[in-house]
Structure 1
Amino acid sequence: MAPLKALELAYPIFDSNFQTFCASHGILSVEDFLIHDVYELAAFADQQPTSEKLKQGITQIFSIIDAQHQPWLNGLELLDDALQKKHVFSTGCEGIDLLLGGGLRAGQLTELVGPSSSGKTQVCLLAASYLVSKNMGTVVYLDTGNSFSSQRIAQFVGRISNCMFDQAGQRIFQKVMNNILCYSVFDIFSMFNVLHRLEINLQSQKGEQVRLLIIDSISSLITPIIGNSGSQGRALMASAGYLLKKLAQEHNLVVLVTNHTVGGERGIPKPALGQTWKSVPHVRLLLSGDHGNNIRSISVLKHPSMASGKVASFTI
């Protein structure tokens, strides 16, 4: 769903006065309404000189949401959707694939959590390289910390394709790079711009071959807005989670994001972004490793179809 300003042309009731009122309550897009108490919002509207028009706008927003809401699925339809439509894509790493029963599942938001140098970016680069090398589609890669490495992609492509970096190898590498669409994104608003353009392209079939969306890292975009803007920051975080899950589900995408760790109780590291974000990913995986070698450990913190605590080792 689009930002409110983008809807003004089709719905004149969403004028600048309505947008200003919504922004004052941390509402910048249609998605933001889903996490607000509509009765509380209406009460705030009652205090404004244009209360009736504001409440008409609020009612219109929920009409738009209802119109776009898909019908409920029964159990058999959900099972068919999971088995027939939501493909599993290999990460290119045997250890991770075995742990996850084949790899990353389309329609799900998967989060890689880990401290610095635990291998999060390497897993992202490998997954992108493998998917494109095997001609399974294209990748949209949002790089938030200048960590995207074409040299590392070249190494992975050479390993996957079992080819030397000769003329033929260069052609394969160039094809892979042409199908990994990398965007440098340094704030959450730039991320929303990229994601909304992607959604439009997917809806118009221009991006129908996109199979994997990577954000490395989501926490570096969200952390700055949580501490400084209160409820608006949390609303933006919830909107980001909603949009990522919506893209995954409606367009059969694998969505892979990374998250760093922070100090927890008794000094035990825990995933950043807190309890509000904790419920957002379908799958949450913890990466760890010894800085002295290339062996990494990955464990399941959250998964819809397997118990937490499963662990596997791998090298990358």
Structure 2
Amino acid sequence: MAPLKSLERDYPIIDSNFQQFCASHGIFSVEDFLLHDLYVLVAFVEQQSTSERLKQGITQVLSIIDGQHQPWLNGMELLEDGRQNKHVLSTGCEGIDFLQGGLREGQVTELVGPSSSGKTQVCLQAASNIAKKYTGNVVYLDTCNSFSPQRIAHFIDQILDPPFKEAKCKVLQEVMSSILCHSVFDIFAMLDVLYQLESNLISQMQTGDGRVRLLIVDSMSSLITPILGGSGLHGRALMVSSGFLLKKLAHEHNVAVLVTNHMVGGEGGTLKPALGESWKSIPHVRLLVSRDHGSNICNMSILKHTSMASGKATRFMIHG
């Protein structure tokens, strides 16, 4: 979370008086505004002697939230952006690599599927392959205690050629040191990590230090679903805000982002992605993954893609 106090230097209107007023209503960060009824807050502002200045502060915070949205780009700018520094990273997963060549830097790719369909296995395999094959780090946000170093070691063992088996320990050490795993169990903890990551990426641009190639959130839905209940819009606003922050990180820092989303029952018992219509516009690419009952054979198909037709599908094996 971005604390209000940290904004005071760049936005003088968010001064100590404004921070004290907000604190009296349980608001300490930019995200807290998304959980607060702004109409109620403004009603309290009207009772203050410094109401106009407080309103300016509220307007400033809202503009900061809006600033998380990507700017409008025309077609030529999008084409040029796609040509420059947007490499496709091979994941080692036959499903993803067959359908689109891998994960594209600058884009958010979403894996949608029911429980035990292989989403986490794909994430672990992608993390292993990209950490081994490319210079840079993988950031893995684990929301369900599903990160498995043993599976990483297994994937590394599989992709090493026989002559290099003796060097497996060294390779594994290098790969594991390139995968930065954070356990996050609520949306605010995730936002904390993402804002810190953004700050680090900005510093790295200035110093030329190592970069982040891949950001994984497994699973996005487990963080967001608990805050979507009820008739309020605060949970939905937090969901959209976190989604745009992921897109911003991907776009501005050429990071490939991979998130997972589980399935829930819809009308007539038909399964549908858990995060609903408001989230649908966030990922650039949406892939549906399922697993044949009682086997390691998985199916993957394109639900949404920026440059490929929906419906294209393939079958692949998750190696045990």
Give the TM-score category using the shorter length. 0.7 to 0.9
Q: Name the residue aligned to 1:93.
A: 93
Alignment of 1:29 onto 2:30: yes
Q: Give the gaps of 5 or more residues in structure 1.
A: none
Identify which range, 187-196 or 200-209, moves more after superposition.
200-209
Q: TM-score, normalised by structure 1?
A: 0.87
Cα distance in structure 1, aligned partners of 2:183 and 2:231: 24
Alignment of 1:232 onto 2:231: no
Q: TM-score, normalised by structure 2?
A: 0.86
TM-fit CA distance, 1:109: 0.9
Q: Name the residue aligned to 2:11.
A: 11
Cα distance in structure 1, aligned partners of 2:243 and 2:195: 13
Identify which range, 252-261 or 275-284, moves more after superposition.
275-284
Q: Deviations over 1:106-159 (max 9, x none)?
A: 111111111111000010011111111113321000111111111111111111
Give 1:110's aligned amino acid. Answer: T
Q: Name the residue aligned to 1:146.
A: 145
TM-fit CA distance, 1:252: 0.5
Q: Name the residue aligned to 2:218.
A: 216
Q: Name the residue aligned to 1:82.
A: 82
Q: SS state of the match for residue 85, structure 1?
A: coil
Give 1:96's aligned amino acid. Answer: I
Cα distance in structure 2, aligned partners of 1:68 and 1:223: 22
Cα distance in structure 2, aligned partners of 1:59 and 1:256: 33
TM-fit CA distance, 1:273: 1.7
TM-fit CA distance, 1:5: 3.8
Q: SS state of the match for residue 57, structure 2?
A: helix
Q: SS state of the match for residue 116, structure 2?
A: coil
TM-fit CA distance, 1:9: 4.5
Q: SS state of the match for residue 229, structure 2?
A: helix
TM-fit CA distance, 1:68: 8.8
Contact 1:117 1:291 in 2 (8 A): no
RMSD over aligned CA atoms reads 3.1
Identify which range, 194-203 or 7-16, moves more after superposition.
7-16
Cα distance in structure 1, aligned partners of 2:175 and 2:54: 50
TM-fit CA distance, 1:23: 6.3
Cα 1:77–1:121 change in 2 (3 A) is same
Q: SS state of the match for residue 217, structure 2?
A: strand
Q: Give the gaps of 5 or more residues in structure 2.
A: none
Cα distance in structure 2, aligned partners of 1:69 and 1:109: 14
| Seq. identity, % | 63
TM-fit CA distance, 1:311: 1.2
Q: Deviations over 1:41-91 (max 9, x none)?
A: 996576442421122213434666798988754433321210222111112
Q: Deviations over 1:156-215 (max 9, x none)?
A: 111112248965111101110000001111111111111111111100007642110001
Q: SS state of the match for residue 306, structure 1?
A: coil
Cα distance in structure 1, aligned partners of 2:299 and 2:88: 21
Alignment of 1:241 onto 2:243: yes
Matches within 5 A, 1:172-183: 172-183=171-182
Matches within 5 A, 1:262-273: 262-273=264-275
Q: SS state of the match for residue 307, structure 1?
A: coil
Q: SS state of the match for residue 190, structure 2?
A: helix
Contact 2:2 2:192 in 1 (8 A): no
Identify which range, 82-91 or 161-170, moves more after superposition.
161-170
Alignment of 1:279 onto 2:278: no
Q: Name the residue aligned to 2:191.
A: 192
Cα distance in structure 2, aligned partners of 1:178 and 1:313: 32
Identify which range, 215-224 or 57-66, moves more after superposition.
57-66
Cα distance in structure 2, aligned partners of 1:46 and 1:31: 17
Alignment of 1:170 onto 2:169: yes
Cα distance in structure 1, aligned partners of 2:97 and 2:25: 44
Q: SS state of the match for residue 11, structure 2?
A: coil
